[in-house]
Chains A and B, each alone.
Chain A
Amino acid sequence: MTFEQLFPIQFISSEQWQALIPLIVMGISSVLALLAAPWHHYGRVASLAALAAGSVIALLSLSFSVSDAPVSILGGVLVIDRLSQVFSAIAILSGLAAGIMSIGFDQREHLHNELYALIAFAVSGMIILVSTRDLVVLFIGLELMSLAVYVMVGMRRQAEGAAEAGLKYFLLGGAASAILLYGVTLLYGSSGSLKFDIIGSSLGRMWHDHTPMLPVLGLVMVGVGFLFKVGAVPFHSWIPDVYSGASTPVTGFMISGVKATAIGALLRFSSEVFALPGLMTSGGGFYWILWAIIAFTLLFGSLVGLRQTSLKRMLAYSTIAHTGYVLLGFMALIIGQKPEASDAIVSYTLFYVVMNLGGFAVLTLISPRDTDEPTLQDLAGLGQRRPYLAFALSLFLLSMAGIPPTAGFFGKYYLFMSALSAGELGLTVLAVVASIISAVFYLRPLVFMYMKSSDAELVNDSRWFGSSAVVGLAAVLTVVMGILPSWFSSLMK
């Protein structure tokens, strides 16, 4: 028999191509940006333009290619559905925002032109990450994103901190992806496939009568890989160093895009594998593991954040705490078997991305020249110096602290609701305690901005229009989301 009969080629239909447009556009734009980068004088502008154009087109095509029926390509190698669209949008937006934020900053800090290309690559990796149902493709997307981000982190070549951060991120991240990959093989071995749905169904079938250890091990290791990416205790160690070592726009990109898409991938995997009845719910072990991880993540993030003076480090710890809140939603989704919790997770992620992008845009504007390390002291007297900037920053911080009427409040509220509906009163109260503690360090910048006066020679904040634009947009979004949250929370419907 002939080769074609043995291995019939599975073609991609036209509407599947249409669904793929965003990914393709991002890929092309990243290549273009890479090619444009070395261009002598215009390299920077050109590659930024390529990134921007690609992102815009991709966004538009996303909104065009909205199809209610999910498109599955080659049996789930790539899946385009609501989830993937929402998270691709988040990824593209955060990439675009990061690009715009680094206008001006990159010259001051001598960042290479390739930054924009790398951002584009990372974004395309994120898109793959959130829109696949195949574990190895997921791994490919993860690596595509991670490699780009490793380089972006280590890019500031004058700074020791950047190099060190890049090293730490790379080594630990490599180990983590290896762990995840080992879990993938174990799942492959115990179910004979790499597709979420098949794994889920066959494991579910297997779980009916008894519980072999291998799939459990596989699930656990995949879960650990994800937890590392979202930065949950005890897989969090890299976060503070990497976030404070990387240059501010890059940190903004990581804290928003990288983390959000990791959450998205975890969400897909959870809702299709973890959350299957009988898997995680089979024994008490998973419940208590998750419970402890959430508890430690919440408390660690808020307690250690108390002692930070560097704003980037502070927000790094705060993002650890935020991971704890998100995991509350996953708790409800997996253990509590509440599918609606995914809405809470999605909207929280969206709100979280917006406020963090805004916050880091502000930090970009106030980051001192010599060390790209904005501290509380740099904020002193900002309220008099630049009232609108100060107002925006306090808006973002209050939103992170979860005070109405800001986006963060509703994100938190949705998660609390889902956790309560799963009957997790204890964890919710713990989350309340954590947010009270973290309120302290969210308020400290306000103290410096409004209640301390600045000494003149310390003032070194910039006025780049890019970051300012991001700040303004994020501020408006934060308020709008805080007043009309249901517009955004119903994105998944």
Chain B
Amino acid sequence: MNQLLSWMIFLPALAALAILSLPQQKSAWARPIGVVVSALVAVFALLLWQSFDPAVQGAQFLIKQPWLPEFGIHFELALDGLNIPLVLFTALLTPLAFLGTWSLQAEGSVQKRMTALILLMETGALGTFLSQDIFLFYVFWEIILIPAYLLIGMYGGADRLKTTLQFFLYTFAGSLLMLVAIGWMIWVQKASTGTASASIADLQNIQLNFDSSAGLWGLMSVQGLVFVGFAAAFFVKSPLVPLHAWLPSTYTQAPTLVTIYLAAVLSKMGTYGILKILLPLFPDAARAFAPTLMWLAAFGIVYGAVLAIVQKNLKTAIAYSSLSHVSYILLGLFSLSPSGMSGALLQMVNHGIAIAGLFLVVGWLEKKSDSLDLSSFGGLAKSTPLLATSLMVMVLSSVALPGTNGFVGEFMVLVASFRVHAGPTILAATGMVLGAVYMLNVYQKTMFGAAGAEGLKVSWSDLGAKEILVMVALSAAVVGIGVAPQSYLELSKKSIEATVKHISPEGPKPEQPVQVSNF
């Protein structure tokens, strides 16, 4: 059972190498191999999910091998409440993404490379989520960068070179700062305890000094500096406004499959890092800066929404909407309260599902029509009812309609953050309205009304079997989580509560007293 974890990580990588070494004339095999392998990984994930015990708080299926003993760095993988939702999601999404984009790339060599690199990215993502060693976390975190860079640069849109460089530099800058912070943490740990250890669990126990009297509201104290180092990486990846500049162009230029992976998985690496590392390792700094960050997140919600409203390009609009929704996750995380964090964790998956569906639809439209200009579409619902329906489900999920998964996370986040800090919450709640504005806008411009230029130009064919399969799966997830989220929240309940207790031992300080009551 234990070895399943390492298999989940290394199987895609091996498959990627195998695919890359396929001879040119055999490159048609690439995609089937990719689908099979990722499906296998998904099966592993489901097996693990079956034997995962939510009642146990802490790591399960632990693998721990020494790697760099002189720094106490181990190859340490485990499932716990915090990462199992994301591991499940990533493992399940990858085959779906392959299937959904099956019809989008024609050329053999393109399929070959894209499949291989995406599998590498899966390795990186799963490794990032699973690793319990901060250094291992960093390694996997960085591994994902190069495939993304190459994919965008090779198969992106017209402006791909500039875009991919910008994407790389933003994320790389963040990660290097994190590397410095990691080094510092490990060194401090060794200095304080004598025995070097890079395990996140151990690092949680060392208390760096934080005094808000130090310069820049305490950023200049030791904990503040290290906090900044990690925050740089996570906030850029998530992203948190105003560190999002790479996002719109990247999501717009990247090929659909990559955009899906970037939006659905990579951004979650950032938010997961905040949940797993940033907040627990630096509780004082977290508590000190949480209100500010909540304001930033709330601002980001509105900011992304307002920008999404005025976009002319379909893909860009959805990119900004993703910015807005990720800010909900951040808002929940910074509320530092159990329901807020579980809401955020759930919202990570929700946003992943919704954004994947949306970008899939965009990809299908992109394939048929040469322009993604919103005004050029219209009236597609008549010719492609299934496409319209699936898009509708995704739209509903991302406007957080009750009964869809989006509502669960968003509402939990709002309730929790309102209890902690009402101001940002009110600002954030306006996102409900604005979100509806741009989402319905997109839906209407594409699906409703009279057939637009693009709509008339090409003869639209409705979804094929593969696409239907993908969309049904995603929609099932949307409704299932929306109606019965508890079974899902149960997985991470214990760990979240432990995390919150670690961050603020005396419990979150709400403005009003709280009496919890089940009925």
Contacts and interface: CB of A to CB of B under 8 A. Distances in A.
- Asked if chains A and B come from one complex, the reply is yes
Interface of A: 384, 387, 391, 398, 403-405, 409, 413, 416-417, 420-421, 425, 428-429, 432, 435-436, 439-440, 443, 446-447, 450-451, 485-486, 489-490
Given A420-B187, A425-B184, A432-B176, 20 more contacts: A404-B142, A404-B143, A409-B142, A416-B180, A417-B71, A417-B186, A420-B180, A420-B183, A420-B184, A425-B225, A428-B183, A436-B173, A439-B168, A440-B169, A443-B149, A443-B165, A450-B153, A451-B160, A489-B68, A489-B70
B479 interface: no
A424 to B, nearest CB: 11
Given A417-B187, A451-B161, A429 B172 contact: no
B145 interface: yes
B186 to A, nearest CB: 7
Contacts of B71: 417
B423 interface: no
B150 A446 contact: yes
Contacts of B179: 413, 416, 432
A397 to B, nearest CB: 10
A105 B303 CA distance: 59
Contacts of A384: 109
14 contacts: A416-B179, A416-B180, A425-B225, A428-B180, A432-B177, A436-B172, A447-B161, A447-B165, A450-B153, A450-B154, A451-B153, A485-B68, A486-B69, A489-B70
Interface in B174-193: 176-177, 179-180, 183-184, 186-187
B217 to A, nearest CB: 19
Given A417-B71, A447-B161, A489-B70, A404 B139 contact: yes
A416 B183 contact: yes
Nearest to B180: A428
A129 B325 CA distance: 62
B204 to A, nearest CB: 20
B488 interface: no
A413 B154 CA distance: 30
B29 interface: no
Interface of B: 20, 67-71, 109, 138-139, 142-143, 145-146, 149-150, 153-154, 160-161, 165, 168-169, 172-173, 176-177, 179-180, 183-184, 186-187, 225
A440 B165 contact: yes
Please list the 7 inter-chain residue pairs (A to B) with the smallest Cβ-Cβ separation, ordered nearest first: A404-B139, A432-B176, A451-B153, A417-B183, A404-B142, A436-B173, A420-B183
B389 to A, nearest CB: 38
Contacts, number: 75
Contacts of A398: 146
Contacts of A416: 179-180, 183
Nearest to A437: B169
Given A417-B186, A436-B172, A486-B70, A403 B142 contact: yes
B165 to A, nearest CB: 7
A413 B183 contact: yes
Contacts of B177: 429, 432
B183 A403 contact: no
Contacts of A409: 139, 142
Contacts of A451: 153-154, 160-161
Contacts of B154: 450-451
Given A439-B169, A486-B68, A429 B142 contact: no
Nearest to A402: B176
Contacts of B149: 443, 446
A421 B187 CA distance: 7
Contacts of A490: 70
A391 B68 CA distance: 27
Contacts of B161: 447, 451
Contacts of B172: 436, 439
A415 B143 CA distance: 20
B331 to A, nearest CB: 30
Contacts of A485: 68
A436 B180 contact: no
A403 B146 contact: yes
A346 to B, nearest CB: 13
B237 to A, nearest CB: 16
B230 to A, nearest CB: 14
A192 to B, nearest CB: 40
B149 to A, nearest CB: 7
B187 to A, nearest CB: 5
Contacts of B169: 436, 439-440
A435 B139 CA distance: 17
Nearest to B138: A404
B460 to A, nearest CB: 32
Nearest to B73: A486
A398 B153 CA distance: 16
A486 B225 contact: no
Nearest to B181: A420
A405 B153 contact: no
Contacts of A413: 179, 183
A436 B175 CA distance: 10
A211 to B, nearest CB: 32
Nearest to A451: B153
A405 B140 CA distance: 9
B153 A436 contact: no
A485 B146 CA distance: 21
Contacts of B168: 439, 443
B139 A447 contact: no
A79 B141 CA distance: 44
B246 to A, nearest CB: 14
A385 to B, nearest CB: 12
Contacts of B109: 384
A446 B154 CA distance: 10
Nearest to B188: A420
Q: Most A CB atoms within 10 A — which of B143, B146, B165?
A: B146
A173 B245 CA distance: 48
Nearest to B71: A417
A184 B261 CA distance: 61
A133 to B, nearest CB: 28
Contacts of A435: 176
Contacts of A425: 180, 184, 225
Contacts of B180: 416, 420, 425, 428-429, 432
Contacts of A443: 149, 165, 168
Contacts of B20: 387, 391
Contacts of A432: 173, 176-177, 179-180
Contact of A405 (B143, B176, B183): B143
A416 B173 CA distance: 15
A491 to B, nearest CB: 13
Pick the most buried of B69, B160, B183: most chain A CB atoms within 10 A of its CB.
B183
A37 B150 CA distance: 47
Nearest to B139: A404
Contacts of B184: 420, 425
Q: Pick from A413, A421, A435, A446 the residue with the most CB of B within 10 Å.
A: A413
Nearest to A484: B67
A217 B225 CA distance: 39
Nearest to A405: B139
A318 B492 CA distance: 47
A88 to B, nearest CB: 24
A421 B186 CA distance: 10
Contacts of B143: 404-405
A451 B165 CA distance: 12
B326 to A, nearest CB: 24
Contacts of B150: 446, 450
A440 B149 CA distance: 12
Contacts of A405: 139, 143
Contacts of A420: 180, 183-184, 187
